[in-house]
Amino acid sequence: MSTGYQTRFGSLANYEKGHVESITDDVKNYAFSNCFEIAAGSKPYEKVIFGINQIYVLEVLRAEGNSPWYTCAHDEFALCMDGEVEIQLFKLDASQTVADKERNGTVAVKGEPRGAKMGWIKLKRGHQGMLPANCAYQFRAASPGVLVLQTCKGELSIERWTEICQAQ
Amino acid sequence: MSADSYQVFELGSFVFRRDEYFVHISWRANNGRPMSHTLDVGNFLRALMRDIAWGFFYGWVNFDDVFGTLNHYGTVDLYGGSFNGSMRAAGIDKLENFPTEQIRAVFEQMLDDWTNEGYDPFAAPQETGSPYGPKNGHNRPAITRAREVAKRCVGLKGDLPLRTDARGAPVNRAFADVPQDQPEVHAEPGFEDEVHAFNLFAFLSRSQVTWNPSFTSVVKHSYMCPTTEEHILPIIHGNDRVEWFFQMCDEIHWNCADKNTGKPLARVIMKAGDMAAMPAYCRHQGYSPKRSMLLVWENGSPKLVYEIQKGESPEVPVQF
């Protein structure tokens, strides 16, 4: 007999947020948020941190239209939680890569990327793409989607914990 | 040998026995009194399996509110009652430290001897046989699975391969509706090994175990450790660092308590898309009504635990 399990994913259009029930603790210490709620309130490609551990972050990006071109001195990974997102990749010329190889986080590419075209990827929900170190990448989404980025905190990262987290 | 032919094991002053239903642990407390503790053998074997497979994990692996291990990354504390507020206050606890290899060897022998044929302590309760009864063979293939750890990203050449039917990883019954399509990947010649994507949800839908994180992508010491969860986390994990959970589908309910005493602190109800941190001062245990996908996100820096101990890194995830 089939049990007919239904796997429940969320989306921008349809998500149900959980919560923290305090017994004796401060609910702020659990930094509770929801990626779809964050993306619903974000401008396209704002990099909103919703997880941080020292230099490391997980960011929520609302994918909508074309993003700026980005690069990074280390690998990053993009997980698609909703929608369809293309990622264009270029191997950047040395003159456009991040000069400080230890620099953390995403950096905006100045001008159009120069270098060899590496290819492109199309992500749907549940797909994860690699953004290799020292490449240039651009996200393209015909309709709003949600990305979660595994990276380090950088100059483009945004923190707005008071707005995104349960406080009481 | 015990009456049921299960072996008896000793580690320092701790003695471990099992019978058809239970594990009995005894020790001599700090005040000299002989103490004992009893656990359901199924619960004990599920916890023992994780403790071994995770290399004693980050911080505390509580088998229940009395017994467990604390990892010092080279040595491991074994304790009875030391992180139970009442037992500690009464002076009837015991904590002994062992070299990791010593405790690992005893635990592996214990798991091997006490796991009967047909029982898989990594599996969800509905997907395995019974842990109970007299000694009956073994299940070495199930208890010696290697932890799946990507060096950079799942599916890259030379890295952790994708899970497939051919590799013995069929889609789990609870994830039959999870799409199995792979991303479109269009690599220019010469970049085939750099232009890369994979279906993480399909990968997870094919996990054969529960509550056993694998590494799927790595940025320096940032480890994406997704796992599929069903029924109850077999241990109560005590943090030695902040740990983040991202619920990717379905839901898990967490009980959070003080890691030193077990005093309840909060419950965290997580649904698809929710993110929450477990502070470094807490212990937590999750309940997953249906098999779900949880991204455990870890900072695996070897310095972090010592920075927290010295007060150089906070116990809370963020202040706002």
Rounded CA gap, B83 and B60, in Å? 10
pLDDT value at residue B4: 56
Whether B1 shows a pLDDT value over 60: the answer reads no
ipTM value greater than 0.85: yes
Tell me how crowded residue B269 is: count the other CB atoms within 10 A of its CB.
17
Q: How far is A110 from chain B (nearest CA, A)?
A: 22
**Nearest CA to B253 among B293, B220, B286, B292?**
B286
pLDDT value at residue B303: 87
Interface of A with B in 105-144 (CB under 8 A): 116-130, 132, 135
Mean pLDDT, range B184-193, rounded to an integer: 97
> pLDDT digits over A55-107, tens only?
999 999 999 999 999 999 999 999 999 999 999 999 999 999 999 999 999 99
Mean pLDDT of the residues in chain B: 95
CA dihedral sign, ordered B284, B288, B289, B295: positive
B249 touches chain A (CB under 8 A): yes
Whether A42 shows a pLDDT value over 60: the answer reads yes
pLDDT value at residue A2: 54
Q: How far is A126 from chain B (nearest CA, A)?
A: 5
Mean pLDDT, range B174-189, rounded to an integer: 98
Q: Quickly list DSSP for B238-269.
A: EPSS-EEEEE-SS-EEEEEEETTT--EEEEEE
Mean pLDDT of the residues in chain A: 97
CA within 13 Å, CB half, B155: 22
Rounded CA gap, B186 and B195, in Å? 7
> pLDDT digits over B133-162, tens only?
999 999 999 999 988 999 999 999 999 999
On chain A, the residues whose CB falls within 8 A of the CB of B191 are: 89, 91, 116, 118-119
pLDDT value at residue A30: 98
> pLDDT digits over A114-160, tens only?
999 999 999 999 999 999 999 999 999 999 999 999 999 999 999 99
Q: Quickly list DSSP for A137-153.
A: EEEEEEEEEEEEEEEE-
On chain B, the residues whose CB falls within 8 A of the CB of A16 are: 271-272
**Nearest CA to B250 among B293, B214, B213?**
B293
Rounded CA gap, B213 and B220, in Å? 18
Alpha carbon B120 to chain centroid distance? Answer: 15
Alpha carbon A35 to chain centroid distance? Answer: 10
Contact A22 B179 (CB under 8 A): no
User: Tokens representing B306?
Assistant: 């010592």
pLDDT value at residue B30: 85
Contact A18 B274 (CB under 8 A): yes
State how far the alpha carbon of A165 is from the alpha carbons of A18, B29, B266, B275, in Å. 12, 44, 16, 9
Q: With contact defined as beta carbons under 8 Å apart, do B287 and B269 qualify?
A: no
Mean pLDDT, range B25-30, rounded to an integer: 94
B2 confidence band (pLDDT: 50, 70, 90): very low
B302 confidence band (pLDDT: 50, 70, 90): confident
State the pTM of this model: 0.96
CA within 13 Å, CB half, B10: 5
User: What long-range pairs does B107-112 form, CB within 8 A, spacing at least 24?
Assistant: B107/B48, B107/B51, B107/B52, B108/B52, B109/B7, B109/B9, B110/B7, B110/B9, B110/B16, B110/B48, B111/B45, B111/B48, B111/B49, B111/B52, B111/B143, B112/B138, B112/B140, B112/B143
Mutate to test the interface with A, among B178, B275, B290 (most CBs of A within 10 A): B275
Cβ neighbors of B291 (< 8 A, separation 6 or more) are A5, B124, B172, B174, B175, B210, B228, B229, B230, B250
